[in-house]
Amino acid sequence: MIEIFDVNYNLMSDNRSKELFSLRKKTFKDRLDWIVNCENNMEFDEYDSEHTTYLFGTYKEIVVCSLRFIEIKYPNMITGTFKSYFNKIELPEGNFVEASRLFIDKERVQAMQLQKKPISSILFLSMINYARNYGYQGIYAIISHPMLIIFQRSGWEISVIEQGQSEKNQRIYLIYMPVDDRNQQILIDRISLAHSGLTPVRDVWPLTFRVRDHGPDELKLNS
């Protein structure tokens, strides 16, 4: 069973935080070679704080994907770490969240034989459903060019607000991710297309995706 749920920083268990930060180190330092803060084989920074909520995607209680949400009224990477990489960054006033540290652990996905499951689409739908559940107006993020392609291929109608250069002189983008009915339905349809007969329910949070060895998969409310 794939489950997508949220946990506040203050409520994370020691075991879950070690698992998360270790996976982030493997993704962002070891694989992508980003300039990130690592200690004791874990990656974390000043934005991992009481203002942070994490989305976890787990299969059989093992984390396979995750991301970090911070309300933009609090210190975040867009207005902090990445600000100098853009000529101008202006975020609107309102009830918006910043998404960062998004990853899908490819090794775990392969080991658990989840390659044919639409993990990225499920994670993107969970971002929309989370935001809608808690009354947020939309999501902002700074992403790399490869991640921009992944978002665009999902069908999610994201908008590029600004383009900048990373510390490695690579293109990075400030994007806005709408959480309206239309984009929610786009991702629902994409998941349904990947799994014939699957029709996710609107505005469900948390998400549970029942993976079956035989017969159709099923997405429903996490009871």
What residue segments make up the domains of the chain, in order of their start? 2-221
Given a cut of 70, is residue 221 above it in pLDDT? no
> Of 21-35, 76-90, 129-143, 159-173, where does the model show the most confidence?
129-143
By the 8 A CB rule, do 22 and 42 touch? yes
* Mean pLDDT computed over every residue of the chain: 90
Instruction: Please give the CATH number for the structural domain made up of 2-221.
Output: 3.40.630.30
32-41, 130-139, 155-164, 191-200: lowest mean pLDDT where?
191-200
The first and second tokens of residue 135, run together, are 């009354």
Structure confidence at residue 218 (pLDDT): 53
Q: How confident is the model at residue 200 (pLDDT cuts 50, 70, 90)?
A: low
- pLDDT per position as a tens digit, 202-220: 778 999 877 765 444 555 5
By the 8 A CB rule, do 96 and 138 touch? yes
DSSP symbol at 156: -
Structure confidence at residue 63 (pLDDT): 96
- pLDDT per position as a tens digit, 72-101: 999 999 999 999 999 989 899 999 999 999
Residue 74 one-letter amino acid:
Y
- Peptide bond connecting 206 to the previous residue in cis, omega within 30 degrees of 0: yes
Instruction: Map tokens 């946990």 to a residue.
Output: 7
The model carries a pTM of: 0.91
Given a cut of 70, is residue 104 above it in pLDDT? yes
Structure confidence at residue 201 (pLDDT): 67
d(CA 151, CA 183): 12
What stretches of 112-173 show up as alpha helix (H) in DSSP? 119-133, 145-154
Structure confidence at residue 29 (pLDDT): 87
By the 8 A CB rule, do 136 and 95 touch? yes
Specify the higher pLDDT residue, 22 or 193: 22
d(CA 193, CA 75): 39
Structure confidence at residue 214 (pLDDT): 45
HEC per residue, 68-114: EEEECCCCCCCCCCCHHHCCCCCCCCCCEEEEEEEEECHHHHHHCCC
d(CA 151, CA 134): 22
Structure confidence at residue 212 (pLDDT): 63
Q: Name residues whose C-beta falls within 8 Å of residue 8's C-beta, 6 or more positions apart in sequence.
A: 50, 52, 53, 54
Q: Cα separations (Å) of 188 from 79, 171, 185, 212? A: 32, 30, 5, 19
- Residue 57 pairs in a beta bridge with 4, 65
